[in-house]
Amino acid sequence: MSFKVTILGSGAALPTAQKNPTSQYIECQNRHILIDCGEGSQMQMRKFGVKLQKISHILISHLHGDHYFGLVGLLSTMHLLGRDKGIHIYGPKELEQIIRLQLEIAGNKIGFSLEFHHIKKNQTGLLFEDKCIEIHTFPLKHKIQTNGFLIKEKEKELTLDSERFYSDKLSIQFIQYFKKGQNVTDENGSTYFYKDYTFKAMPTKSYAFCSDTAYNENIITSIKNSDVLYHEATFTEKELDRAKVTLHSTAKQAATIALKANVGKLLMGHLSARFKNDKQHLIEAKKVFENSFVVDDGDEFII
């Protein structure tokens, strides 16, 4: 379970009794990432057993309130719970101004560093990487600057053929070399070939997050072949005009992007509060892209 998405909030701008505004918690290779943080996200974390102090990176897609009004409260709670480990926050530059202003006026010096990374309007490419994961960004098409995100695993080490390795009674020191695809020559001059002791590496997985956005084929290159794509689907085809005016997408449009980007699975969210259920969204999406789902608060997806 090394790559998992937990939906903390699946709703649109108007929170309902069932759906909190947008927020998702991503565990990827033991990294803990929060994407968006609508009001009440910290309560949702408590409800769904998410350990908020583990979060090291927060990605904010844009500065409409339903995507970040819960951030300052989350940071305050992290402080009150004694956090001292810094946190990295990625978003439009005004986010830093808003958060720092509120913390300053409260008169509390936060006990950990807030490392803000300003994302520019049309920024495309790598935001962060370490030895296990990469986070990329790309522009979406919305009323204000909005950025999508792609979280992907880096190439993994080869998988050890344990049965053969242990039956040949080799030194366990060899494992690290074999996993990296390196042969080993021992003190007697005997060479052991990594190919004899490994299977191919587990495939690398990726998760793309697109919210909020009008239909926009420009994003396809950035999210191509993702294992899972989250794409907003505020409306159904009946409200296509409204989708165009508000720069949101319909379920069919989300599915069309999923199809053209050749992703493995489509998760739809941010359905307008006007819809009593998700039936019509699923009907319209599945006609275009069968592996479509509508997310609910508390849902978990293994990538």
**Which are the catalytic amino acids?**
66
Question: CB under 8 A: which stretch of 16-24, 149-157, 165-173, 189-197 binds a copy of itself?
Answer: 16-24
Can residue 164 be called a binding residue for a copy of itself (CB under 8 A)?
no
Question: Residue ranges of the alpha helices (H) in the chain?
Answer: 41-47, 71-80, 94-106, 162-167, 174-179, 194-197, 220-223, 240-246, 251-260, 279-288
- 3-class DSSP assignment, residue 69: coil
Closest CA to 287 of 247, 263, 258, 246: 258
By CB under 8 A, which span of 74-82, 201-209, 229-237, 239-247 interacts with a copy of itself?
74-82
Helix/strand/coil for 100: helix
- 82 is an interface residue for a copy of itself by CB under 8 A: no
> Residue 46: CB partners within 8 Å, gap ≥ 6?
none
Among the candidate windows 105-113, 178-186, 249-257, 284-292, which touches a copy of itself by CB under 8 A?
105-113
Residue 73 touching a copy of itself (CB under 8 A): yes
Closest C-alpha to 230, from 158, 294, 281, 164: 294
Under the criterion CB under 8 A, does residue 101 sit at the interface with a copy of itself? yes
- Which position among 55, 57, 70, 148 is part of the footprint of a copy of itself (CB under 8 A)? 70
Cα 30 vs. chain centroid, distance in angstroms? 13
Q: Around 120, how many Cα atoms within 13 Å sit in the side-chain half-sphere?
A: 5
Beta carbon of residue 121, minimum distance to a copy of itself (angstroms, whole number): 13
Q: What is d(CA 242, CA 21) in angstroms, rounded to the nearest whole number? A: 20
**Is 72 a residue that touches a copy of itself (CB under 8 A)?**
yes
Among 82, 107, 125, 189, binds a copy of itself (CB under 8 A): 107
Contact set with a copy of itself (CB under 8 A): 13-17, 20, 39-40, 42-43, 46-47, 63-66, 69-70, 72-73, 76-77, 80-81, 94, 97-98, 101-102, 105-108, 143-144
